[in-house]
């Protein structure tokens, strides 16, 4: 009754390409990019919608990565799936196992006769999202890797050289201690602690996260991240937390607020946080470098692994609509668009073309540090420990690790017990995953 009165609602004012509106096929694209990232996504979509008239992509911000994934799954089960959904790297193994739900990108492109060359993408990205025989399953979209940021002002106050960051953990510890002594509220704080301090820590030091090449070789795997190096690392951080050299500021990306507020001297965070951090602290005050490493574990760091997300195509729509999906995916992965995305956000350029365009434009000269992420990813040819991770029920496993690490930070457990417990609980989740996907 009431809603009849209020009749039809909501038409976006930015109406473009009016004439042919009727014939357009709408393609749903659910993503998890809030804030200025969301604006960038909208701009990409708008570009596609303006460039042709047969299809209209509707971008929908569905909240966090997990909320987006859950919404898509619920929708799929109810046969209302969006055409495309952005899924974070942690969900990869679960998506791969979802037989009949996913339309693999290589197959989509072939079916739609859309020109497509998987070799156009950089290898750390394709490696993570391809099958064992090298077939790309989802479309690389936003990939990042953790890098080190520092607050030049706080370093200066501590009498340190603001232009030069630490390269090893002992150095970082010392500098952070000095910064705290000079009045900083916190020395060092990491984002996404499991991703940065456990997963990437492993790849960077060439240590396995799990057996069978971190899960690339099968689902019957066991976690391995409770090794001596990581126990020592976590124990060191716990030790540092006593005098605020290390401060834990919450899960996921929450700690960035502290660094942005100018409280912390050092921050290990996704390269995609670069634009946000530079906006908050101003470009001049932010230093960037590669992640530090432990010289007693490895002489030279291996390489880091990616985070971020890819676009997965879901089954269950009329075949004709997938032609539009293929066109859209080509559009968003094209060189100029990815180059713009990379420069605006700090995500790594997923295609070689995007990297070249950015290089040629002189962007890195004006923005020193922005090329670090790619360099760090390509530091060395990947080993089986640094290619990526393919872990079932990874969302829950990360929750487990987060919880156990929090138990360390609050002094309830020592590093060894916590990591052992995390491995044990994680293995149980892996067994459940194996059983569910038999």
Partner 1 sequence: MVENRPWLTVLSHAVVLIGLVIIAFPVWMTFVASTHDQQTMLRSPIPLLPGPHMVDNYVQILTEGYGGRFGSSKHTLELGWGPAKISITMSTIAMTMINSMIMALGITIGKIAISIIAAFAIVYFRFPFRMWFFWAIFITLMLPVEVRIVPTYGVVASLGMLDSYSGLIIPLIASATATFLFRQFFMSVPDELTEAARVDGAGPMRFFWDILLPMSRTTIAALFVIQFIYGWNQYLWPLLITTKESFYTVVMAVSRQANVVDSVPSWNLLMTMAMLAMLPPVLVVVFMQRQFVRGLVETEK
Partner 2 sequence: MEKRVAFNERWLPYLLVSPQILITLVFFFWPSGQAIWQSVLLEDAFGGNSRFVFLDNFTHLLSDKDYYASARLTLVFSALVASVGLGVSLLLAVMADRIIRGATAYKAFLVWPYAVAPAVAGVLWGFLFNPSVGIVAWSLAAIGIEFNYVINGNQALALVVIAAVWNQVSYNFLFFLAGLQAIPKSLIEAAAIDGAGPGRRFWDIVFPLLSPTGFFLLVVNIIYAFFGTFGVVDSLTKGGPAKATEILVFKVYNDGFRGQDLGGSAAQSVILMIVVIALTVVQFRFIERRVHY
- In terms of CB distance, is 353 or 407 closer to partner 2? 407
* Residue number, 63 or 295, with CB nearest to partner 2: 63
Q: Nearest CA to 152 among 144, 141, 163?
A: 163
Q: 108 by DSSP, 3-state: which?
A: helix
Residue 403's binding partner out of partner 2, partner 1, none, with CB under 5 to 8 Å set by partner kind:
partner 2
194 touches partner 2 (CB under 8 A): no
Q: Which region among 21-29, 166-174, 290-298, 397-405 touches partner 2 (by CB under 8 A)? A: 397-405
Q: Tell me phi and psi for residue 129, to 5 degrees.
A: -115, 15
CA distance 225 to 211: 10
Q: Should residue 254 be labelled a site residue for partner 1 when binding is judged by CB under 8 A?
A: yes
181 binds, among partner 2, partner 1, none (CB under 5 to 8 A by kind): none
35-94: contacts with partner 1 (CB under 8 A) = 35-36, 38-39, 60-64, 67, 71, 74-75, 77-80, 82
Binding partner of residue 344 among partner 2, partner 1, none, CB cut-off 5 to 8 Å per kind: none
Nearest distance in Å: CB 58, partner 1: 8
Q: Pull the structure tokens for residue 273.
A: 């946080």
Q: How far apart are CA 164 and CA 321, in angstroms?
A: 52
* Min separation Cβ 63 and partner 2, Å: 11
Output the 3-class SS for 149-166: EEEHHHHHHCCCCCCCCC
Site string for partner 2, 56-75 (x = CB under 8 A): ----------x--xx--x--
Nearer to partner 1 by Cβ, of 12 and 18: the residue is 12
Rounded to the nearest 5 degrees, what angle is found at the Cα of 358, between the Cα atoms of 356 and 362?
115
**Residue pair 152/322 in contact by the 8 Å Cβ criterion:** no
The runs of H, that is alpha helices, within 252-318 are 255-260, 274-281
The DSSP-derived string for 392-414 is: TTHHHHHHHHHHHHHHHHTTSS-
Position 434 contacts partner 2 (CB under 8 A):
no
Q: Could you list the residues that contact partner 2 (CB under 8 A)?
A: 66, 69-70, 73, 76-77, 94, 97-101, 248-251, 254, 257-258, 261, 263, 393, 395-396, 399, 402-404, 406-407, 409-410, 412, 425, 432, 435-438
């Amino acid at each position: 009754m009431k809603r009849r009165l209020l009749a039809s609602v909501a038409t976006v004012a930015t109406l473009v390409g009016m004439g042919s509106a009727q014939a357009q096929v709408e393609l749903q694209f659910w993503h998890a990019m809030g804030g200025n990232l969301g604006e960038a996504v909208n701009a990409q979509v708008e570009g596609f919608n303006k460039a042709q008239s047969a299809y209209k992509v509707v971008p929908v911000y569905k909240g966090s990565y997990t909320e987006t994934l859950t919404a898509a799954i619920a929708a799929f089960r109810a046969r209302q799936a969006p055409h495309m959904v952005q899924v974070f790297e942690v969900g990869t193994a679960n998506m791969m196992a979802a037989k009949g739900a996913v339309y693999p990108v290589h197959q989509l492109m072939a079916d739609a006769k859309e020109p497509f060359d998987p070799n156009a993408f950089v290898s750390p990205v394709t490696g993570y999202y391809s099958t064992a025989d090298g077939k790309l399953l989802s479309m690389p979209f936003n990939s990042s890797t953790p890098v080190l940021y520092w607050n030049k002002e706080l370093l200066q106050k501590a009498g340190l050289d603001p232009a030069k960051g630490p390269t090893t953990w002992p150095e970082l510890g010392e500098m952070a201690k000095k910064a705290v002594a000079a009045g900083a509220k916190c020395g060092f704080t990491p984002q996404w602690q499991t991703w940065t301090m456990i997963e990437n820590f492993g790849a960077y030091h060439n240590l396995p996260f799990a057996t069978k090449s971190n899960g690339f070789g099968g689902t019957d795997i066991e976690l391995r991240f409770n090794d001596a190096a990581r126990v020592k690392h976590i124990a060191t951080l716990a030790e540092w937390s006593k005098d605020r050299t290390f401060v834990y500021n919450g899960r996921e990306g929450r700690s960035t607020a502290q660094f942005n507020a100018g409280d912390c001297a050092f921050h290990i965070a996704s390269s995609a946080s670069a634009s946000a951090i530079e906006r908050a602290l101003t470009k001049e005050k932010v230093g960037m470098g590669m992640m530090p490493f432990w010289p007693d574990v490895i002489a030279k760091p291996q390489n880091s692994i990616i985070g971020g997300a890819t676009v997965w195509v879901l089954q269950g729509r009329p075949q004709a609509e997938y032609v539009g999906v293929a066109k859209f995916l080509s559009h968003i992965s094209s060189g100029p668009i990815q180059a713009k995305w990379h420069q605006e956000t700090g995500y790594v350029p997923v295609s070689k073309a995007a990297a070249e365009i950015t290089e040629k434009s002189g962007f890195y000269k004006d923005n020193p540090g922005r090329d670090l992420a790619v360099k760090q990813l390509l530091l060395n040819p990947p080993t089986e420990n640094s290619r990526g991770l393919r872990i079932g029920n990874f969302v829950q496993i990360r929750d487990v690790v987060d919880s156990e690490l929090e138990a360390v930070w609050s002094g309830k457990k020592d590093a060894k017990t916590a990591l052992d417990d995390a491995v044990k609980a994680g293995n149980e989740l892996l067994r459940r995953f194996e059983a569910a996907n038999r």
